[in-house]
């Protein structure tokens, strides 16, 4: 079994990837039969599994000198990934994140952690539904003298973005000229549910029917 499908099975087992037959409203306003919540990777063992999936998603990550996590969910992701990459590649990898509001006292500014100026920076985020937070991260990194070299996300929903033709990931890559890699995708979820989701046949058929209908309506 691929690393991506192993990650999907694990995410399903802890409820971070949830199948919702009745539907769940997303930031985009769409009603989705599945939902990914990175906030449920909230223990040492679970975030270890998440970061292992991130690190295995792209080979060009070795070029990163700083991992940037958009506040707030990206903060623990960037911290843990910098640790994992430092161990994997035997090199020093920094981490940084932004404050939602500029600090007016003490060290000040909007960036916490490793300086971005002159550094190759990898963005880590959970899900790219609209690409807004990752796009803002690109602007922050460039404004602080860094070079964003890519973005890694936990789950690619593989559904159309704002223009209705490209996915949110594809729109992001087109708009910013930066590659995006995902630990797992909707295709991986469908394959896992279809083949070894652990559901009785009737439940499996009902869930798959809703997911496939959603993909037909919004997928790319």
Known catalytic residues?
103, 105
How many alpha carbons lie under 13 Å from residue 34 in its C-beta half-sphere? 32
Mark out the alpha helices in the chain (DSSP H runs): 3-14, 44-55, 74-89, 132-143, 168-176, 186-196, 201-218
Nearest-angstrom CA–CA distance, 160 and 51:
26
Quick one: 208 exposed, middle or buried, by C-beta within 10 A (0-12, 13-18, 19+)? middle
- Quick one: which of 13, 14, 33, 15 has its CA closest to 23? 33
């Amino acid at each position: 079994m691929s690393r991506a499908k192993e990650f999907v099975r694990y995410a399903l087992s802890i409820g971070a990837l949830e199948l919702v037959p009745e539907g769940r409203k997303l930031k985009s306003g769409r009603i989705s039969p599945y939902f990914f919540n990175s906030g449920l990777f909230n223990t040492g063992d679970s975030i270890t599994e998440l970061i292992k999936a991130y690190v295995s998603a792209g080979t060009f990550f070795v070029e990163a000198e700083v991992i940037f996590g958009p506040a707030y969910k990206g903060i623990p992701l960037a911290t843990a990934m910098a640790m994992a990459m430092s161990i994997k590649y035997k090199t020093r990898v920094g981490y940084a994140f932004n404050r939602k509001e500029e600090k007016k006292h003490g060290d000040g500014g909007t960036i916490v952690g490793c300086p971005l100026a002159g550094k190759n920076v990898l963005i880590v985020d959970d899900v790219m539904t609209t690409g807004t937070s990752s796009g803002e991260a690109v602007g922050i990194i460039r404004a602080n003298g860094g070079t964003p070299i890519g973005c890694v996300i936990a789950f690619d929903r593989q559904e159309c973005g704002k223009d209705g033709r490209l996915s949110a990931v594809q729109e992001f890559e087109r708009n910013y000229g930066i590659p995006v890699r995902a630990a797992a995708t909707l295709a991986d979820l469908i394959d896992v549910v279809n083949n070894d989701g652990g559901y009785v046949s009737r439940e499996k058929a009902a869930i798959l029917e809703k997911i496939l209908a959603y993909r037909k309506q919004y997928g790319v």
